């Protein structure tokens, strides 16, 4: 973990990694809010970059108590997962660790479980 980030190796393409994550979210009843195609947006303005897409996810029922307890956590909610390809073509899935978010926003320990699902979701998305 670097700077609060957890980065997992994915055996899937960027698109497939996020499609898998979306499906796992659906199975767990975790709403997906939107998907950002950074590399697609770059291509539309004539720039080239390796594949990079981000998914935002989370349930307001779980996130709202955190934002009430510590309003600054709203800058990091909904939760985000970034699938990206490095210069060698390897795909990664990165998200903020709950420990990092807890420390960064001084979250009450009894509410951290509300966002801890990100770990399980992301680990499931990168399984072979």
- Dihedral angle, C-alpha 118, 121, 123, 127, nearest 10 °: -170
Tens digit of each residue's pLDDT (9 = 90 or more) over 57-100: 999 999 999 999 999 999 999 999 999 999 999 999 999 999 99
Q: At what angle do helices 117-125 and 14-27 cross, to 10 degrees?
A: 130
Q: Is the pLDDT of residue 112 over 90?
A: yes
Can you give the pLDDT at residue 2? 59
Answer whether 0.85 is exceeded by the pTM: yes
Can you give the pLDDT at residue 45? 97
Tens digit of each residue's pLDDT (9 = 90 or more) over 1-24: 458 999 999 999 999 999 999 999
């Amino acid at each position: 973990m670097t700077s609060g980030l957890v980065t997992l190796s994915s055996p899937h393409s960027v698109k497939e990694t996020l499609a898998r994550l979306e499906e796992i979210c659906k199975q767990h009843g975790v709403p997906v809010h939107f998907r950002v195609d950074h590399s697609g947006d770059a291509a539309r303005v004539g720039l080239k970059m390796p594949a990079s897409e981000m998914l935002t996810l989370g349930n307001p029922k779980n996130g709202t108590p955190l934002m009430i307890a510590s309003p600054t956590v709203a800058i990091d909610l909904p939760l985000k997962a970034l699938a990206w390809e490095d210069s060698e073509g390897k795909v990664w899935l990165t998200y903020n660790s709950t420990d990092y978010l807890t420390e960064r926003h001084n979250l009450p320990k009894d509410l951290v479980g509300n966002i801890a699902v990100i770990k399980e979701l992301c680990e499931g998305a990168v399984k072979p």
